[in-house]
Structure 1
Amino acid sequence: MDEHKINMLSDKIVKGTISEQEMEEFNEWYSTYENLEQNVTTDKNQEALAERLFKNIITEANLPVSKPRSIKIWPRIAVAASFALVFGMSIFYYTAKQADQTRQIADLNNIKPGGNGALLTLANGRTIRLDAATKGELANEAGVRITKTKDGQILYEVGEITSAKDKINTLSTAKGETYTITLPDHTKVYLNSASSLSYPASFATLKERKVELTGEAYFEVFKDSAHPFIVRTADQEIKVLGTHFNVNSYKEDGNTKTTLIEGSVKIGFSSRTNETEAIIKPGEQAYIKANKIYVDQVNAEDAIAWKNGYFRFNNETLEQAMNKIARWYNVTIEYKDPTIKNRNVYGSLSRFSNIGVVLNLLELTEALKFEIEGNKIIVLKK
């Protein structure tokens, strides 16, 4: 076999593209190289070729194999033996690496961004899968007509004045889902992933328009000064007359954060044991910690980026960023080193990006990397 052919086959071994037939051909070349001991001083070209290929394999494969020290005693035998070992290792390394990369790419492609979807549970226990429901009337209870519009939103229309305070409906989204609803009082609510909103089928005859939220939602409250609109979460009670604001009450994020876009909002405790209240202005965010209400000046656009179709990681921890990713792409997160969770990350991009693009952005902001196993993202230090 000439040197050009040997070089070509060795290059294929390095790249992991060599066929079974070509590998047999290469091994046959080695089998003709068995009388090395008798030709120690005569076959310098073959020795040089073997050493050069050996170095190429080591360099390209990035394998932790060093040139054997015994080469000075039996040059060609040592080179050939080590060369065969390196080839074996390189084949295994690149085959495994290619298989792993192929699997990782397949796993990445299987992880899709979220979309429009939710489950509506009526007061009588009936459930309606909204992403599967056709447009038009979905239900009619207590004089309230529930319809799905052509653009996929849920609309409540009150007919006759009737009380429905005991008829509680619940709109809930799973991971990877979001939905928009117009409540009976014309308040518009954008519900984020892994969230739920419970509310009366009608606010008629009620003094207060009270709803309960878990997860996250953006509210555009219809102004009605005679009937305050109240959002209750696990720890906050938010009272407004008519305004736009965002409420993040995911348990895994630590505490409820209410961010005001316009108007004014009064923040209090859900628990009646603490009567402390605070009023926030546009661009402010309120949260409760250690039985106190704190108010910070923030960039309100960061809080509602999800509603506008973006991820905005602005001076938040890696764990908070990964929580957003987990909820939207419906994946689980594993940290090999939990200490990395509290590192700050930054960046902004579309929520409809391939998850690989999102992870690459985070890799640029911190000394970390990711591995994908099925529906799980593993976070590692570089």
Structure 2
Amino acid sequence: MNSNSEIKTLLQKFILNQCTAEEIEQVIAYCRNTNLTEDFPTVEDVQKLLNEMPKMEAQKADSIFNNILATAKEETVIELHPKKSNRRKYISIAASLLVLLGIGFAYKQVFLNKPAEVPFDFKSTDIVLQMEDGTVQIISENGKVKVQDKNGNIVGNQDGDKLVYEKEAGSDQLVYNTLKIPYGKKFRLELSDGTMVHLNSGTTLRYPVKFIAGENRQVFLDGEAFFDVAKDKKHPFIVNADELNVRVLGTHFNVSNYPEDALTDVVLVEGSVGMYRSNEEFDANKNTILKPGYRGSFNKENASIFTKPVITEIYTSWINGGLTFRNMTFKNIITKLERRYNVTIINKNEKLANEKFNASFKEESIDNVMSYFNEIHGINYTIKNNQILIK
């Protein structure tokens, strides 16, 4: 970060919770190694911005942040001694952030009212439900569980592979739960508005226990999910997939946002979908509007969006046990097979890693999938317990 504009941009992303893990580390490193005085807002200004953030459009947040920076630059540097007449304390953002952040990531809890992330092993066998306060509840696919809020009120009921949230229960404020699906499993979730979500293996979804009147219905996805969204023209439903927002009023669509993929894919089965960057305000005249039977792809590297007609069943077959690879590198196929079957795959054939393949399977075992690759592509392997060795 060599210029003020780069510093400002990165700090803005940090405060609006849009930094990647690498960018967060850059912010923390910069704060630790720099004597920050005149280019940064006060702690109070930052907290005000963050408190307003959930109700704020990105454009408004950008304007406020620019004003904060401009004001900070115009102010003279003020002494921190409590007996000084001017009580507006300019604490370096480095000190304030590092004290509040601890090791760097707790800011989500302090500033954005999010719980600290609970470590989760996707190779475990447990489906985990994380509450707003960070407490967790284990979900058994064959069990029955009542989900309670912090006051002991029942807000949802789980029966087998489906968790249903009550339409009227819960607070009149936004309270979030997070559902984490391990490798080798799928799960269904019915949100408080009646929206049905199918969650694929290795997926995390953060969602409100109850949607609030007058507010957008927004959820946060890492992984893959198929959404059957309840129609509500007054309350747009928005899926946040990192840097991409997917906006609908009521429709059926699939979102795939796994970390190994260069693209975030949205496949529309029915209705209409708007795709736009998460730091922008939706504009139907400017943003990409997806039609049924099309796939919209968001390039994570350059933030471009392109569309193409597809056979939607290929991309939604996973709901019924299907598995599809389209022009996919073998190293990414390995990751998806590990996620789907909860196995460990060791590839000793380095030439295979970047080769691309096309394949489709119905509900097949990992033995049958590997047998196909051996027969068609001559890929030699051995299977022992849950480990596959590719020679």
TM-score range relative to shorter protein: 0.5 to 0.7
Aligned to 1:125: 134
What is the identity, as a one-letter code, of the residue corresponding to 2:254?
Answer: N
Q: How does 1:245-284 map to 2 (within 5 A)?
A: 245-272=253-280, 277-284=287-294
What displacement does 1:226 show? 0.4
Alignment deviations for residues 273-310 of structure 1 (CA, whole Å, 9 cap, x no partner)? 99862011112111222231111222211111111211
Cα gap change, 1:299 to 1:323, in 2 (>3 Å): farther
Alignment deviations for residues 151-203 of structure 1 (CA, whole Å, 9 cap, x no partner)? 431000133584131x2100011111211000011100011111100011110
Partners of 1:163 and 1:374 lie apart in 2 by 49
**Is 1:193 the counterpart of 2:205 in the alignment?**
no
Partners of 2:374 and 2:294 lie apart in 1 by 30
Contact kept in structure 1, 2:129 and 2:178, CA below 8 Å: yes
SS in 1 for 2:333: helix
**Is 1:297 the counterpart of 2:309 in the alignment?**
yes
SS in 2 for 1:147: strand
**Is 1:203 the counterpart of 2:211 in the alignment?**
yes
Which one of the candidate residues 142, 145, 148 is aligned to 2:158? Answer: 148
**Is 1:357 the counterpart of 2:368 in the alignment?**
yes
Contact kept in structure 2, 1:162 and 1:205, CA below 8 Å: no
Partners of 1:187 and 1:169 lie apart in 2 by 15
Contact kept in structure 2, 1:198 and 1:213, CA below 8 Å: yes
SS in 1 for 2:155: strand
Partners of 1:291 and 1:270 lie apart in 2 by 10
Contact kept in structure 1, 2:146 and 2:154, CA below 8 Å: no
SS in 1 for 2:317: coil
Taking structure 1 as the reference length, the TM-score comes to 0.63
Taking structure 2 as the reference length, the TM-score comes to 0.62
Cα gap change, 1:124 to 1:309, in 2 (>3 Å): same
What is the identity, as a one-letter code, of the residue corresponding to 1:344?
Answer: K
Which one of the candidate residues 333, 353, 378 is aligned to 2:389? Answer: 378
Partners of 1:116 and 1:243 lie apart in 2 by 32
Alignment deviations for residues 23-44 of structure 1 (CA, whole Å, 9 cap, x no partner)? xxxxxxxxxxxxxxxxxxxxxx
Cα gap change, 1:229 to 1:274, in 2 (>3 Å): closer
Aligned to 1:241: 249
**Is 1:231 the counterpart of 2:243 in the alignment?**
no
Contact kept in structure 2, 1:277 and 1:293, CA below 8 Å: no
Aligned to 1:338: 350
Partners of 2:335 and 2:233 lie apart in 1 by 37
Aligned to 1:104: none
Partners of 1:256 and 1:322 lie apart in 2 by 18
Alignment deviations for residues 90-118 of structure 1 (CA, whole Å, 9 cap, x no partner)? xxxxxxxxxxxxxxxxxxxxxxxx99962
Cα gap change, 1:153 to 1:307, in 2 (>3 Å): same
Partners of 1:335 and 1:176 lie apart in 2 by 20
Contact kept in structure 2, 1:266 and 1:279, CA below 8 Å: yes
Larger Rg: 1
Aligned to 1:323: 335
Aligned to 1:37: none
Q: Which has the larger share of helix?
A: 1
Over aligned residues, Cα RMSD in angstroms? 2.7
What displacement does 1:370 show? 1.7
Residues matched between the structures, number: 264
Cα gap change, 1:184 to 1:273, in 2 (>3 Å): closer
Per mean C-alpha deviation after superposition, the further-off stretch among 340-349 and 325-334 is: 340-349
Per mean C-alpha deviation after superposition, the further-off stretch among 275-284 and 291-300 is: 275-284
Partners of 1:188 and 1:334 lie apart in 2 by 36
Q: Percent same amino acid at aligned positions?
A: 31
What is the identity, as a one-letter code, of the residue corresponding to 1:118?
Answer: I
Contact kept in structure 2, 1:135 and 1:152, CA below 8 Å: no
1 or 2 for the larger relative contact order (CA 8 Å, sep ≥6)?
Answer: 1
What displacement does 1:369 show? 1.8
Cα gap change, 1:339 to 1:133, in 2 (>3 Å): same
Alignment deviations for residues 236-282 of structure 1 (CA, whole Å, 9 cap, x no partner)? 10000001111110011222111111111000112349986201111
Aligned to 1:311: 323
Partners of 1:132 and 1:267 lie apart in 2 by 34
Unaligned runs of 5+ in 2: 1-122
Which one of the candidate residues 185, 190, 194 is aligned to 1:177? Answer: 185
